[in-house]
Structures are given as C-alpha cells and as structure tokens.
Amino acid sequence: MLSGLEEANKVNKELTSIDDDALNLLSQLSEGYPHFLQEFAFKAFEHDLNNRICVEDVKNGAFGQFGALKQLGTKYFNELYFTQIGSDEYRRVLQAMARFSDSWVNREMIKKEISIKDTTLNNALQALKTRNIIVPNPAQSGEFRLPTKSFAAWIKAFYMLKEEPFSSENLNNE
C-alpha cells in the first residue's frame, strides 16, 4: 500500500497521506490478498476528500453500496454462494457460520444460530466441504470455518442485513 501511495505522490500534484489506523484496517480487510488490498485501497482513495486517507475513508470505500466488498464479492464469492449451492438451507448454514467470521464452528454452534434438521445440516456441511466452500479443521473433527473473513463479511453485508446491521466492527467478531 505504501509503495502505491509513494508512486501516486510522484505523479499527482497534491500529496496524499494515510493514517496508521487506516493502513491497519486496509491490512486487516485484505487478509494478505494483493487483489483485495488493491480494491480496498482504490475505494478508500476514491472516498478521500482531503488528501489524507483515514479510517472513515477506508470504511466508506469498503462497505458502501458499490464498495470494495461488493466488488470483490461479485468477482469471488457469488459463484460460491449461488452457483455452487442450489439450496437456501445450505446458504443459511453459511450465514450462521458467517456470524463467527472465519473462526472454527461445530454443528452445535450452527444449530444455535438457525433451526435446521440434523440430516440437512450434515448434508449441507458435507456438500460445502466437498465443494471447498468451507474448510474442515484438520486438528478437530467436526469443526469447520469459512475460508476468509472477507467471505464472512460479504455474507453479512449483503445477505443478512435484515437480521443484523453490518459494519466494519463486526467483521472480526473476536
């Protein structure tokens, strides 16, 4: 991010700076994925009005209606969430898991979040695992997680808004 900002400051007439907490939020949001970092940084730049990128610029750029999370979700998560899953029940399992971000969850935790038959839950977990939509815990049988915080945040932001308001504060749930 900083090298990109240095390059921008070489070619732009007005210099732009970034607050440390904004830089930290960009790092957290991107989870180390270069394309994610590029998208979140681009949208923060787009929302900046005073040549100083702050946390509010990052949040507005990330979580707005046409923000980075929406753009990344369209590119990377729509396929997982809609095309590879034909069942609303299976999507409800993902929504329940999203409440825990990318932390490990088990069947009991999911059942506390949603009302679902045991057989449906077992089938959903098996199908989601087989399609590489969820990750099984190699150290603990029966535990699973979503592959990234961004996937969880995207599910929360765009498919659970009626159930709970979304903000960057509940991205991590830790």
Q: What are phi and psi of 58, to 5 degrees?
A: -65, -45
Contact between 155 and 81 (Cβ < 8 Å)? yes
Contact between 149 and 36 (Cβ < 8 Å)? no
145-171, pLDDT tens digit by residue?
A: 999 988 998 898 877 654 443 444 444
Which residue matches tokens 């959903």?
124
CATH 1.10.10.10 residue window(s) in the chain? 85-170
Strands 52-53 and 17-18: parallel
CA 11 to chain centre: 32
For position 158, what pLDDT does the model report? 75
Contact between 17 and 51 (Cβ < 8 Å)? yes
Q: What is the CATH number of domain 85-170?
A: 1.10.10.10
CB atoms within 10 A of CB 69: 27
- Give the DSSP H/E element, type plus range, for residue 17: strand 17-18
The CA-based dihedral angle spanning residues 29, 156, 149, 18, taken in that order and rounded to the nearest 10 degrees: 10
Q: What is the pLDDT along the chain (174 residues), one digit of tens a residue?
A: 567 778 888 898 889 999 999 999 999 999 888 999 999 999 999 999 999 999 999 999 998 888 998 899 889 898 889 989 999 999 999 999 999 999 999 999 999 999 999 999 999 999 999 999 999 999 999 999 999 988 998 898 877 654 443 444 444 443
d(CA 2, CA 6) in angstroms, rounded, equals 6
